[in-house]
Structure 1
Amino acid sequence: MFFLNLFKKEKGLQQNVEATTNKSKIADQWQEVPAYSETDYKNYELVSVIATAIASGDRPESQFVVKRILERNPEAKLVALITSSIAAGDNQTSRLAVKRIVKKS
């Protein structure tokens, strides 16, 4: 009985290793679509002024440094809108959140 259990575990481990290897091969075929992308440099000044004005409120002595400005990725936005609309169907009160979008590379 001891030997049977020992061999079953080894077979189970081998199957787990094979499953993990298959998952990694499949994962290599898919590429995640980022929800946000870098914006153009020409937009930095306007966005920085607006963001710091809102953040400072009524404290003009405060200072802020904007390190990075991102904009919504149009591809991800379109895919999220289409998929959530299809999933919601006729139920207008449903609320869906798209956590991640991947595409086949």
Structure 2
Amino acid sequence: MRFLMLVTVDPDLAGTVDGDPTAWVNETTAKGQRLEGDRLRPVSDATTLWPKDGGGTFVSDGPFAETKEQIAGYDVIECADLDEAVEVAAKHPVARFGAIELRPVWE
């Protein structure tokens, strides 16, 4: 099963905790669990699209939700089941000070 990991952090905490995922990336890639992933640019570079009344699309700067926590990156992992995905995600360094949302990919 493939899972999308949304790595979410409070930007005020991100620089205060050792959150370098290099070892996690190397280990999970070597095991064939991590298929891809990357950091995301800051929310100041985000663009959100909304449907306009009467048709068309409204484009706005910034993130969809106004929250302190921000999606900082993503990973796609391959695991046998949710239990294994939780085990893999729990070892990500951001799991110590941020949140990681796991979502199964439709297959």
- When Rg is computed on C-alpha atoms for both structures, the one with the higher figure is 1
TM interval, shorter chain, is under 0.3
- Considering Cα pairs closer than 8 Å and 6+ residues apart, tell me whether 1 or 2 has the greater RCO: 2
TM-score, normalised relative to structure 2: 0.24
The structure where strand makes up a greater share of residues is 2
TM-score, normalised relative to structure 1: 0.25
The structure where helix makes up a greater share of residues is 1
